[in-house]
Chain A
């Protein structure tokens, strides 16, 4: 297993389109007054000032693959038929985690309690989308690192809680990545806090020899 990389301040372009889409905006259908647009953009900008994007990632080789799951070089077993299928052709994985931090969650809580649910909802969508974008950013980082080794990441990623990859695997990922170092906690139900925190797995694909 390689050394985990920690990103204490991830900077991603604001995924404005995704935020609007998440909130239900439909191009050509939804009608916004200029004032409403200004308000929402202002909330998005405000949300950004509460978000402290942090992340971590590590690459680990796969020791053995079975139909029912994979065994990592560290001896850790991920049991999941779907994950195993997702990692077809991969002999290495990248585990990653990211968080928007606690300040934005506190701001959402305060806004919800103080009758500013509109802002809370925009904050919530902004935090969700930006954390997702931060995983793209982490994948981009690993792709740059892997390029020199003639490798690249699978374009998609897989998360604990999907299909048969049980949520309890999130605890294993949490421990490997030492996510407590970027302020994330995990509870007995394997849920991460602060709320806008995520983990994921991507596969490493070997590019054919001689192509770089």
Chain B
């Protein structure tokens, strides 16, 4: 029996015990601070061998080699370059220490670098780095591998692929989850499990970061989705800061007392991480020696994942919409963007589709003349970082699919694999290697099988072939093949029969691309939506569609309720609540007189409707001057008061100011044109001073001043003193407002004022900005305004006091 089978058999009978922390033991035994642990162990072999031996004697079935940092990046920090040899020697030391009494796991830790798309290390470079370590460990005779303390799912994938491409040995992967239940890079335990077990990890779990209490919930959360044994290696409690120093203080008996709960939660392999000693392992072993482990619940799972999310495809779940928009077919702008290597449209489509309710995103980059492999690589890299929706890799290019699957930090769905012999031969091994699910297209040649019967035969035949690669029915999604009813009136019914058979007899998930059904028909949206409802009734699991289609989404939500897939209708209620709310608001706002609506629009920052309300008010006989003086100005003054009292905060203040501005622009043509009044408008010159590029505060002040009738001339940001002086001479402002955000640039305000005084320019200066204080402003000869409201008040005060002159 080989070692892998031995481990698998052992796991059926009992919980395997792992060792505890190595670092703690090495410190106790004299490792100096700051040395390379791996090299120190090679130089002091008896010490590390004693650690391994003590763990074995304490009851560990598996000890880890002291190779956590034995990769070229980590050892490179100590100028060590013979990576393979270091790993070989340390594995040998462990083997010699425990002999046949325990198994030795080749320990692979993180490189300290981040892998693309999350870092700058190429994925294949990372794989090669880990392979160097794997080869050394194998030469040293390790029995199995452990990839541990991973905070980045992509690095864990790279390490796992490295092991799998070299050996068939048993390999465990454990991630480290922060307090919030995600890795530093945002992966949750279930997504990590789905990704890693589908990629071939023989056991998955977590280590470090938390004590036994905290880690227990991660194991419990993973168990329902696990088809592999689960591993836990918690710390000896939560680290505490005592006198500004970190301490793990959970004693062995207390640590071990969690053992039974772990077994009950579904752990199959258990040990200790930071702070645990041989005594912890001894007590743990004692505590659970009679406990029977819970076998993995599932043999297979129909689930997809991204780096930060997962979806389980189950018959009792609502229909999942696969967003179809990232597909250049018929979209010239997207085609051009892909050819130019740009991403802004894809970014926008991704955001919108998620917002509209897509659960998965289809990704197709096939444009004539494009390097599809490169384009797929780039788009998958982008999408992996900007969305948490799992992806559907849509291509007929085998290399593009393989590239996407190798890079994608999750479990993807391939769209699609048909019954064509060559497709099967090329794509099934790739899908199996990367653990992807695939859409089974019931086609064998160019001719579309017209009937459900023919499609069923192809499904059975492809599935049989896929079974040779280890695929189960949970790993496939059958495409119902939607043909147009305009050319074949039976087309829709044959698709529905196929879906029904797959759902109820063959028992696998199904998908359709909806819109083809209505091709050539008028009012296509109704046919699409009706067909969707019928397909849902037949058991459809996924639909490739545009989630921005209101009809489709409304029907989907309703059908989910009627099919008992949205059991308490909570999704339906939530989906439609916003629409109901908007209706209520509309009904309420229809009641008050138009002037009140204008007042309210300014008060609430209603930029969308203020002009309609103003028009209504003017039509009802209110004069434009009265609307401004008696309604809008009091409203904006009230906004300022609310802001002062902190009942309003900045976005509300600005929204109101913008509503006011918009309303004023609309009303302007109706105002009495008093030329002298126009000329008397106080001119304010604004600038963010030289060296400073932060100007949003100044923009707010500008808007607020305009609201209150000032004539604002805004010079922008990073404006040299000379330029400001030149403008002062030219436009003769009454007030000059200067802003700066930084301590290093606020001193440039002084230069402007000094220069102005030298030139005997008599305008007043107002200074403002995050770091500017009243005393600083005074010291340079300026008044101080705290914020936009303050600037308005100050400008009005300066105006009314006659301290400033009007434009001549």
Asked whether A5 lies within 8 Å of B112 as measured between CB atoms, the reply is yes
Count chain B residues whose beta carbon lies closer than 8 angstroms to a beta carbon of A: 81
Contact bitstring A88-112, B, C-beta under 8 A = 1, else 0: 0000000000000000000010001
Hey, what's the 0/1 contact readout for A57-100 against B, CB within 8 Å counting as 1? Answer: 00000000000000000000000000000000000000000000
Map CB proximity to B onto A24-56 as digits: 1 under 8 Å, 0 otherwise.
111001111111100110010110010010000
Which of B246, B646, B700 has a CB less than 8 Å from the CB of A26?
B646
Whole-angstrom CA separation of A140 from B178 in the bound complex: 10
A31 to B116, CA, bound (A): 44
- In the complex, A173 has a CB within 8 A of chain B: no
Q: In this assembly, does B176 line the interface, its C-beta being within 8 Å of a C-beta of chain A? A: yes
- CB pair A144 B151 closer than 8 Å: yes
Q: Which residues of B contact A118 (CB under 8 A)?
A: 605, 607, 651, 654-655, 658
Which one of B164-172, B447-455, B494-502, B688-696 is at the interface? B688-696
Instruction: Please state if B184 and A140 are interface contacts (CB–CB under 8 Å).
Output: yes
Contact B73 A161 (CB under 8 A): no
The answer on a CB contact under 8 Å between B651 and A191 is no
Query: Contact partner of A210 among B28, B110, B347, B385, CB < 8 A?
Result: B28
Residues 366-402 of B, flagged 1 when their CB comes within 8 A of A and 0 if not, give: 0000000000000000001110000000000000000
In the complex, chain A residues 4-38 whose Cβ is within 8 Å of any chain B Cβ: 5-9, 11, 13, 20, 23-26, 29-36
Cβ of A2 under 8 Å from chain B: yes
- Size class of the A contact interface (CB-based, 8 Å): 35 or more
CB atoms of A8 and B184 under 8 A apart: no
B488 interfacial by beta-carbon distance below 8 Å: no
Q: Which of A3, A13, A112, A208 contacts B245 (CB 8 A)?
A: A208
Whether B645 sits at the interface, judged by CB under 8 Å, is yes
Q: How many Å from the CB of B158 to the closest CB on chain A?
A: 15
The answer to whether B27 and A210 touch across the interface, beta carbons within 8 angstroms, is: yes
Whole-angstrom CA separation of A149 from B694 in the bound complex: 41
Whether the Cβ atoms of A148 and B23 lie closer than 8 Å is yes
> Out of B21, B581, B651, B745, which one reaches A212, CB within 8 Å?
B21
A191 and B245 contact, Cβ closer than 8 Å, known pairs A5-B119, A117-B699, A161-B743? no
Closest chain A residue, CB of each to CB of B703: A117
Rounded to whole angstroms, the CA-CA distance of A10 and B72 in the bound complex is: 24
Candidates B151, B347, B699; contact of A141 at CB < 8 Å: B151
Contacts known (A7-B114, A206-B33); A121 close to B651, Cβ less than 8 A: yes
Supposing A118-B655, A191-B692 touch, asked if A212 and B24 sit within 8 A by C-beta, the answer is yes
Interchain CB contact under 8 A, B120 and A49: no
* B248 in contact with A212 (CB, 8 Å): yes
Query: Does residue B308 face the partner (Cβ distance < 8 Å to A)?
Result: yes
Q: Which residues of A contact B692 (CB under 8 A)?
A: 191
In the bound complex, residues from chain A placing their C-beta under 8 Å from that of B651 are 23, 36, 39-40, 43, 118, 121-122
Chain A residue with Cβ nearest B185? A11
Given known contacts A9-B118, A112-B699, A212-B21, is B744 in contact with A23 (CB within 8 Å)?
no
Known: A189-B691, A212-B246. A33 touches B604 (CB 8 A): yes
Indicate whether A145 reaches chain B with its CB closer than 8 angstroms: yes
Q: Which residues of chain B (115-142) have a CB below 8 Å from chain A?
A: 116-120
Minimum Cβ distance to chain A for residue B422 (Å): 36
B350: chain A residues within 8 A (beta carbon) = 49
Among B24, B117, B647, the residue within 8 A (CB) of A9 is B117
Instruction: Give a binary string over B179-219; 1 marks a CB under 8 Å from any A CB, 0 the rest.
Output: 01000111000000000000000000000110000000000
Q: Which of A131-175 contact B (CB under 8 A)?
A: 137, 140-141, 144-145, 147-150, 152, 161, 167
Contact B658 A117 (CB under 8 A): yes
Give the contacting residue for B649; candidates A26, A35, A124; CB below 8 A.
A26
Q: Which residues of B contact A25 (CB under 8 A)?
A: 649
Q: Complex Cα distance A5/B115, Å?
A: 10
Please indicate the chain B residues that have their CB under 8 angstroms from the CB of A2 in the complex.
77
Interface string of B730-774 (1 = CB under 8 A from A): 000000000000111100000000000000000000000000000
Residues in B whose Cβ lies below 8 Å from that of A24: 643, 646, 649-650
Bound Cα distance A2, B78 (Å): 9
22 contacts across the A-B interface (CB closer than 8 A): A3-B73, A3-B76, A3-B77, A5-B112, A9-B117, A23-B649, A24-B643, A29-B645, A39-B651, A46-B351, A116-B658, A121-B700, A144-B176, A147-B208, A147-B274, A150-B27, A161-B742, A190-B744, A205-B244, A210-B24, A211-B248, A212-B248
Interchain residue pairs A-B with the least CB separation, the first 7: A24-B649, A9-B385, A6-B120, A11-B186, A189-B691, A118-B655, A49-B351
By a beta-carbon cutoff of 8 Å, the part of chain B in contact with chain A is: 21, 23-24, 27-28, 33-34, 68-69, 73, 76-77, 110, 112-114, 116-120, 149, 151, 176, 178, 180, 184-186, 208-209, 244-248, 274-275, 307-308, 347-348, 350-351, 355, 384-386, 581, 585, 604-605, 607, 643, 645-652, 654-655, 657-658, 661-662, 691-696, 699-700, 703, 742-745
Q: A145-B110, A211-B246 are in contact. List 7 more A-B contacts (CB 8 A).
A: A3-B112, A6-B113, A35-B604, A49-B350, A116-B658, A120-B696, A150-B27
Which residues of chain A have a CB within 8 Å of any CB of chain B? Answer: 2-3, 5-9, 11, 13, 20, 23-26, 29-36, 39-40, 43, 45-46, 49, 52, 108, 112, 115-118, 120-122, 124-125, 137, 140-141, 144-145, 147-150, 152, 161, 167, 181, 189-191, 193, 195, 205-212
